[in-house]
Structure 1
Amino acid sequence: MVRPRFPIRTCFPIATKVSLHPAVFYLPAFIRCFLRHRAASSPRRPTSLSRVRFLRKSPPHIRRRKRSRMEGRGFWQYMVAGSVAGMAEHMAMFPVDTLKTRMQTVAVSSTSSCCPRGQSNVGSLLASIVRSEGPSGLYRGIAAIGLGAGPAHAAYFAVYEICKGRLGGDRHDGYHHPLIHAASGVAATVASDTVFTPMDVVKQRLQLRSSPYSGVRDCIVRMLRDEGIKSFYASYRTTVLMNAPFTAVHFSTYEAVKKILFEISPENSSEERLVVHLTAGGSAGALASALTTPLDVVKTRLQCQGVCGADKFGSSSVHMVMKKIVAKEGPRALLQGLKPRVLFHTPAAAICWSTYEAVKSFLQKNTHESSS
């Protein structure tokens, strides 16, 4: 009697009626026997194609090269989609942003021409601007947004998507990952605010009623000459401190609402996806903007300090500026511009997310078709 060369069957008894993935049969015989034995002994963990791929995965350097190539391809898609979404959002909602800026800039007891007393509500302020300056008064400084919103949102969404992928926030495991989405959003806003803050300062100074600047170029030149380059980043720390909790709430809320809505309505039609992105984006924008209004007031005061009668602060400390505002005007001053801010961010986030998801899906589909 000839002794078998490899008595694998005596070590791993083969169980009948155990179904494995067809790809398993391309593996060596002893691995197939082992997998059958494990599948029979633990039916809750059937052998799947992902486990087979794990057994036959590529060498590390091939995996790294493949992952970097995929991330590089996705990175420019995120940047293009984010740039288009940012431009669409800010251009559509710029008049509301002008109202918010004028309401937040001036103290309640001030007689400054930035926003005269008695025009502390949205309706009267809007009527006053249209009557005294015409409809074009609502669009002063829009050129600065055109220069800043595109690059800033390109960095914003690209950094968010890359961080979310690296941290595992895009896993389809049936769970929410709010902390991962919040951390990715904070990383994204640090990168975005570095690009956007200088143009945001220029934009807000041009939005004031009696702005001494004739345009974007004049504002930049005079700020550099009179105040130095530091004036462009006077509110950077406040902006990051405001946008960090804003984006943490914003992204985690958006991802959670989107996941819930997709679970309620799993159909994959383009119309339903658009409704989901609009609803999730609007909910995230409303909640995040309402919670961070006091920090936005501080940021606006710092960016417009000393311009056409606005108060000037000797320190850029958030705590000190907030303390001075409360001491002079009361706690309600920290909620100035709440209504226009929520009115701005609710539709703005809905427009931004729906545009971003649509452009990203279009680019990914075209890239997939061209590569196949």
Structure 2
Amino acid sequence: MAKGDNQALKESFAGCVGGIVQVMTGQPFDTVKVRLQTQPDQYSSMVDCVKKTLKNEGFKGFYKGALTPLIGIGACVSIQFSALESAKRYFIAQNASRNQHNPTDLSYAQLFLSGSASGVANSVLSGPIEHVRSRLQIQARSGAAGAYAGPIDFFKRVYGKYGLAGIYKGQGITLVREFGGYGIYFLTYEALMKRQMKIQKTQNRGDVAGWMQCLFGACSGYTLWTVMYPIDAIKSKIQTDSFEVADRKYKGVADCVKKVLAAEGVMGFYRGFVTCMLRAGPVNGFTFMAYEATMRVLA
């Protein structure tokens, strides 16, 4: 196996570890976020959503739809980091071909585009995974009439009736979120890491303390969601809207924006934002720390 292939496998495995950590720490927060985004009439606040979920479904209610992301998000984060590092290597090669003094010193634009490439690659899996997770998260009771028994039942029924278009419902707005969001996400982390490595006068990422990597990851999560949360809210609404055209609340993204503004104002795009931000710090901090720690073990 070539050295480059071996490195790519290490990055993929480390990303998978980071993804599993991400799901286990973030699923309860994500369930509350999606319910607040898509069911504004049922919950008055984050606390109200938590209380009702515990009362009606118990603690396991926060982990509804977790099986699909547990398997899939591991693959998604694996793709994210693999695509990120591949894009970074591409830009390093481009810099070297231009005889740049330090080709590994990527510009902010190159870091943003590397992150965006990871987001686009990730969207192939994240779109359907988040679709099924959102559908399962908003079900009050799994045994209710018409409810999906789980992710496999969802995929069988939706694909059987609506084909791939049904599975990839909301993929357009998902791509917008992934391109911009992961560009911001990885730019923030890589820029902070680059700055710290210069301060420590080191070329070895492992020399940066784990707690600092965790802090930088948390900052990355905060910047991503601060900018992209309204897009995510629209995505959740589109993905959980009816499959039947005649029964849909929204004709498309523009119509969704118009109706949410009319009914709830700008704050309609920020329902669940506090929950998301509470989640963003620890989840993304631990994701990056797990990735960097795994890469050190595999080195």
Same fold (TM over 0.5): yes
How far apart are 1:227 and its partner, in Å?
3.1
- Selected match of 1:154 from 78, 102, 105: 78
C-alpha separation between the residues in 2 aligned to 1:193 and 1:270?
29
C-alpha separation between the residues in 2 aligned to 1:337 and 1:266?
41
How far apart are 1:314 and its partner, in Å?
4.7
* Residues 137-171 of structure 1: per-residue CA shift (max 9 Å, x gap): 11111111123112222211111101111102999
Contact 1:148 1:200 in 2 (8 A): no
Tell me whether 1:94 sits opposite 2:20 in the alignment.
Answer: no
- The 1:269/1:215 distance shift into structure 2, 3 A limit, reads closer
- Selected match of 2:232 from 285, 292, 296: 296
- Selected match of 1:345 from 268, 274, 280: 280
How far apart are 1:175 and its partner, in Å?
5.4
C-alpha separation between the residues in 2 aligned to 1:351 and 1:319?
36
How far apart are 1:93 and its partner, in Å?
1.1
Alignment of 1:199-348 (within 5 A): 199-210=129-140, 212-265=147-200, 272-306=208-242, 312-316=248-252, 318-348=253-283
Contact 1:181 1:251 in 2 (8 A): yes
- The 1:139/1:321 distance shift into structure 2, 3 A limit, reads same
How far apart are 1:228 and its partner, in Å?
2.9
* Residues 256-288 of structure 1: per-residue CA shift (max 9 Å, x gap): 112223334458796852022111111111111
SS at match of 1:294: helix
- Selected match of 1:140 from 64, 67, 71: 64
Alignment of 1:168-179 (within 5 A): 168=92, 177-179=107-109
Compute the TM-score of the two structures, normalised by the length of structure 2. Answer: 0.87
C-alpha separation between the residues in 2 aligned to 1:305 and 1:215?
18
* Residues 198-217 of structure 1: per-residue CA shift (max 9 Å, x gap): 12211111111425112122
1:263 counterpart letter in structure 2:
K
Partner of 1:122: 46
2:131 counterpart letter in structure 1:
V
Contact 2:134 2:239 in 1 (8 A): yes
Segments of 5+ residues of structure 1 without an aligned counterpart are 1-67, 111-115, 365-372
How far apart are 1:319 and its partner, in Å?
2.6
- The 1:271/1:185 distance shift into structure 2, 3 A limit, reads closer
SS at match of 2:149: coil
Higher share in helix:
2
How far apart are 1:82 and its partner, in Å?
0.7
C-alpha separation between the residues in 1 aligned to 2:270 and 2:250?
22
CA RMSD of aligned residues (A): 2.5
* Residues 1-60 of structure 1: per-residue CA shift (max 9 Å, x gap): xxxxxxxxxxxxxxxxxxxxxxxxxxxxxxxxxxxxxxxxxxxxxxxxxxxxxxxxxxxx
How far apart are 1:241 and its partner, in Å?
0.2
Alignment of 1:54-69 (within 5 A): 69=2
SS at match of 1:190: helix
- The 1:237/1:269 distance shift into structure 2, 3 A limit, reads closer
Partner of 1:42: none
236-245 or 340-349, which deviates more: 340-349
Flag the structure with more relative contact order, 1 or 2, with Cα contacts below 8 A and sequence separation at least 6. Answer: 2
C-alpha separation between the residues in 2 aligned to 1:84 and 1:132?
32
Contact 2:206 2:296 in 1 (8 A): no
Partner of 1:7: none
Tell me whether 1:85 sits opposite 2:38 in the alignment.
Answer: no
1:139 counterpart letter in structure 2:
Y
- The 1:226/1:155 distance shift into structure 2, 3 A limit, reads same
C-alpha separation between the residues in 2 aligned to 1:335 and 1:243?
18
C-alpha separation between the residues in 2 aligned to 1:269 and 1:185?
18
- The 1:174/1:225 distance shift into structure 2, 3 A limit, reads closer
1:277 counterpart letter in structure 2:
Q
Partner of 1:63: none
88-97 or 342-351, which deviates more: 342-351
How far apart are 1:124 and its partner, in Å?
2.1
How far apart are 1:332 and its partner, in Å?
1.2
- The 1:238/1:154 distance shift into structure 2, 3 A limit, reads same
Partner of 1:104: 37
236-245 or 266-275, which deviates more: 266-275
